[in-house]
Amino acid sequence: MAGHILDKGYEVHVYNRTPAKAQELIDRGAVWQDTPGKLARNCDVVITMLGYPQDVEDVYAGEDGLIPNAKPGAYLIDMTTSSPLLARRLAERGKERGIGVLDAPVSGGDVGAKNAKLSIMVGGAKEDYEAVLPLLEIMGSNIVYQGEAGAGQNTKMCNQIAIASNMMGVTEAIVYAEKAGLDPKNVLKSIETGAAGSFSLSNLVPRMLNGDFEPGFYIKHFIKDMGIALDSAAEMGLELPGLKLAESLYQKLADADYADKGTQALYKLWEDKLI
């Protein structure tokens, strides 16, 4: 994602908790900064992609974080899948300092990021969204403004809820095909373009069938997302039985040491006879 912005001629500054992970970008001309605070003091726009809500809070609100050190009039765009409540709180803190804070989580996985085809769902002030839209369009092909702060995160929860049940469905379809004596790759040819078609069916099932369980999206992060969605639903008095089931199945995978594998490893529940 940062590489696409570099390719468009922008001056890009980078920070990562593991400096080696930024080396490829530095080799391409990006400028290294030692801390989030230094990054904020040198940039007009800062984009973050982190692991967990606590990471977001630390990087944004900590003493050497983004909000305390950002330039007045700067824009901070968090593309982490995080808590809607936290997104609203950080946007309010930013507003107090004259800083635009947007929540802009993405969908599309590693394939979407590499091909600049991400779906980006944005919450925050409309004028801030319009100001940074040209940057978002470099990374994604479907950018939608969803509303005030937190709306982007709530939209991502909708995305994750849909994926959770879909992943159960596509995995069960494949193990059913195998049990019925069918060639699952041949079955995929018939069902992926019909009413059952989905991103997961077309992009993750082939990895599953080839024994490729490396992460485009980590199971441990998916569990985190489902937990956020369930907590948010509970606040609204909403029951989501499908999501609860998906979370329990993925937690079983994590307990079997698959937390660092991709979501397509749901197949391992059947392959390893864990279910």
Query: Which residues are tagged catalytic?
Result: 156
For residues 192-217, one letter each, b for 16 or more C-beta atoms within 10 angstroms of the residue's C-beta and e for the rest, the string is: beeeeebbbbebbbebbbeeebebbb
Chain centroid to CA 214 = 16
Give the amino acid at 70. Answer: A
Structural tokens at position 1: 């994602």
φ, ψ (nearest 5 deg) of residue 108: 135, -10
Contacts for 223 with CB less than 8 Å, ≥ 6 apart: 247, 250, 251, 254, 259
φ, ψ (nearest 5 deg) of residue 80: -65, 145
Residue 15 has a CB neighbour count (10 Å cut-off) of: 19
Given its phi and psi angles, is residue 119 left (phi above 0), alpha (psi -120 to 50 degrees) or beta?
A: beta
Contact 263, 204 (CB under 8 A): yes
